[in-house]
């Protein structure tokens, strides 16, 4: 179910496995760590479904490439900031009305498979 006022259609990018510097501890800042990213972009896909034309939809390959470039070149202290930045990238692409981003850091906590931060952001009115 979509958020109120957000298109119900979704494009998913699942389990994007990347490496970056993220964390506050000195050992986390020395070497790149694994992160797992899941993105759900809300967009009105009806027209693309009718026309079968890439120009009428969100170019998810372009989104993926932009996310990879940002994440692999980043050096954030907080997973929250990384998730926020990924959401900003997604919303900068035409047609994306809202986005849900989950960033997980496998092995960040002892005895836990992963720790994750999830954010939901909508395009600003008039943007």
Q: Could you tell me if residue 2 is inside a domain? A: no
Tens-digit pLDDT profile for residues 47-57: 999 999 999 99
Confirm whether 127 is domain-assigned: no
Asked whether residue 39 is assigned to any structural domain, the reply reads yes
Residue 76, CA distances (Å) to 25, 33, 35, 45, 100 in order: 11, 12, 12, 33, 19
Which of the 8 DSSP states describes residue 11?
Answer: E
Report the domain count for the chain. Answer: 1
pLDDT digits (tens, 9 = 90+) for 33-44: 999 999 999 999
pTM of the complete model: 0.92
Residue 33 belongs to what domain range? 10-122
The band of 3, judged by pLDDT with boundaries at 50, 70 and 90, is confident
The answer to whether position 61 is within a domain reads: yes
Tabulate helix, strand, coil % of the chain (nearest 5). 30, 35, 35
Q: What is the pLDDT of residues 46-100, one digit of tens each?
A: 999 999 999 999 999 999 999 999 999 999 999 999 999 999 999 999 999 999 9
- What are the catalytic residues? 105
- What is the CATH number for 55? 3.30.1130.10
């Amino acid at each position: 179910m979509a958020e109120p006022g957000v298109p119900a259609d979704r494009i998913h990018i699942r389990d994007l496995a990347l490496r970056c510097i993220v964390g506050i501890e000195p050992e986390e800042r020395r070497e790149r760590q694994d992160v797992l990213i899941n993105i759900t972009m809300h967009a009105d896909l009806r027209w693309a479904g009718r026309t079968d034309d890439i120009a009428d939809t969100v170019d998810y390959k372009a989104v993926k490439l932009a996310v990879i470039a940002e994440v692999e070149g980043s050096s954030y202290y907080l997973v929250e900031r990384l998730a926020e930045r990924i959401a900003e990238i997604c919303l900068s692409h035409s047609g994306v009305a809202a986005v849900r981003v989950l960033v997980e850091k496998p092995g960040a906590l002892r005895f836990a498979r992963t720790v994750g931060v999830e954010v939901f952001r909508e395009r600003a009115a008039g943007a």
